[in-house]
Structure 1
């Protein structure tokens, strides 16, 4: 069945693997929900202390591309350049034909073994591990996009046709999922790397289905990229000219890239553009053993800049201490998520 044929209500319970990603139009069963979604475990944020929960785990294994640049230039890699490197590297994995890549990497590994090339074997084995890990994390488990988990985090907002601002938008996935759940509004995506607009968002598959709501009937409806009203702006967040005009201000994987000295400023970026009574939606990668393993093995893909892994308690305390009222918090497969308002 072609993706373009997914329209009828019965298709809202389908899942299917493509060569590059999984589509997943299912809802969680009660058993799956209890396994993959944990919500509202902190009863009183005012009683939580850093002494109790400790500080986030800092990832210190970096991409070879970053290390080589710093060696050649005898200086620290500039932040903007680090994000350019990351975006190009990360996108190259999203567009892979994964089964074909697995077959290719296996053949290369066997070829190096036959030639008794120890350095080649070591390099090829690393390539085999990375493509298998990517296949499991993104394509089999769908942990990066995680549509079922993201819908669980995003549901329950009191908005109609919201204006959504996505800070550090990359390919824009989460804003499109939000707009499918709360249809009829508009999305402003912001990233200061032009590659994100011209390649990551532009090449996001037109056929990818987002499960959302039909605002006329209240039933499920499937949306695709062309159904969303998107304006993509290439700009530094600090230079944006918008006022407090957005119903939802969203960031995904942003807070963890800033040491403590800058986290208050990051929270302020969200508050600055929010309407009175609007929602701040933020996610960060979870501090768990398999995430630490993932960022070690995939360091050449992922680790071009400062990065932390947080527990939901750590993430929430940063937001609480910087003036946000946490309405909903929890974690899904590989991400923490928080819905908040300004106190």
Structure 2
């Protein structure tokens, strides 16, 4: 426990989130009364308008805008390739390619090399050094203290399923259903999630911390459109991570309703979105070819919470962690 270690493609972090050093990453409940907040007060989210190169090429070839399913397929395949990189080895390779082009006065190769070096260093900092994508300490702080025992957890747009596994570690005996409509997420992103990655959770028998791994969890992975799921109001938690911001305002009420549709009375909706901050804007600009295949917004937690509150939820907990906003809510 209280251990952290850099692996070639991710960080192990079993440190507690309650130390004073860590509190700067957490700021829960900055809004006292959501009924008094208006869009005039908070403004609208920041739309990320830069587009991935392969999306542009696809649209030129097909003469039409890329449809949502194709966009998500491209994004998932592109994004996953960065999770599985041996980052130190990749840094060495990209530096060598850059200097080779410089030595040969190959200015096209130099220009490409600068971008490649910048992207791998940025990914190294964001994902390995800061652990801002998975952010286990921040996610544990967001998820802790919920009134559930052996919960049923539904993860909408699950991708590799990280956050549902962290919840299952914190609430042992959980039954997890992950849903994504891209088969690649089940067959590759989830299937290749490292079995050695440790999740810090709780041992209900001893009341002490315990480490869990992917294979310790009870997980069903469903490939389907969220709108076609056969489930009723049968889940204690309905979770989404980076889902709401991919839909324009006219669709957001439906997205919020997806969470309500499957919740038991008194159950929790848990949602995160990327924060609107300068670092995030720069990240999506520099990593555009990796990330920007779909409609995307960056929000403040006030904007995110107002979408959720206006569409029938009471906010139980809200705030921000490293690069994400987080909200825990119950149906009003």
TM-score by length of 2: 0.99
Provide the residue aligned with 2:266 in structure 1: 277
Secondary structure of 1:251's match? strand
**Match status 1:166 vs 2:194:** no
**Match status 1:146 vs 2:135:** yes
| Cα distance between partner residues in 2 of 1:202 and 1:178 | 19
| Cα distance between partner residues in 1 of 2:259 and 2:57 | 34
Secondary structure of 2:232's match? coil
**Match status 1:202 vs 2:191:** yes
| Cα distance between partner residues in 2 of 1:131 and 1:33 | 26
Cα deviations by residue, 1:8-39 (Å, 9 ceiling, x for unpaired): xxxx1100011000000001353323211111
**Match status 1:232 vs 2:221:** yes
Unaligned runs of 5+ in 1: 1-11
Structure 1 residue runs of 4 or more that deviate by more than 6 Å after TM superposition: none
Count of residues in Structure 1 that have an aligned counterpart in Structure 2: 332
Report the CA distance between 1:227 and its aligned residue: 0.5
Provide the residue aligned with 1:333 in structure 2: 322
**Match status 1:131 vs 2:106:** no
Cα deviations by residue, 1:131-185 (Å, 9 ceiling, x for unpaired): 0000000000000000000000000100000000000000000000001000102
Provide the residue aligned with 2:252 in structure 1: 263
Asked whether the 8 Å contact 2:17–2:140 carries over to 1, the reply is no
TM-score by length of 1: 0.96
| Cα distance between partner residues in 1 of 2:228 and 2:259 | 13
| Cα distance between partner residues in 2 of 1:159 and 1:219 | 18
Cα deviations by residue, 1:292-332 (Å, 9 ceiling, x for unpaired): 00000000110000000000000000000000000000000
Provide the residue aligned with 1:312 in structure 2: 301
| Cα distance between partner residues in 2 of 1:33 and 1:320 | 28
Report the CA distance between 1:116 and its aligned residue: 1.1
Counterpart of 1:107 (choices 96, 120, 132) is 96
| Cα distance between partner residues in 2 of 1:72 and 1:32 | 51
CA RMSD, Structure 1 to Structure 2 (Å): 0.7
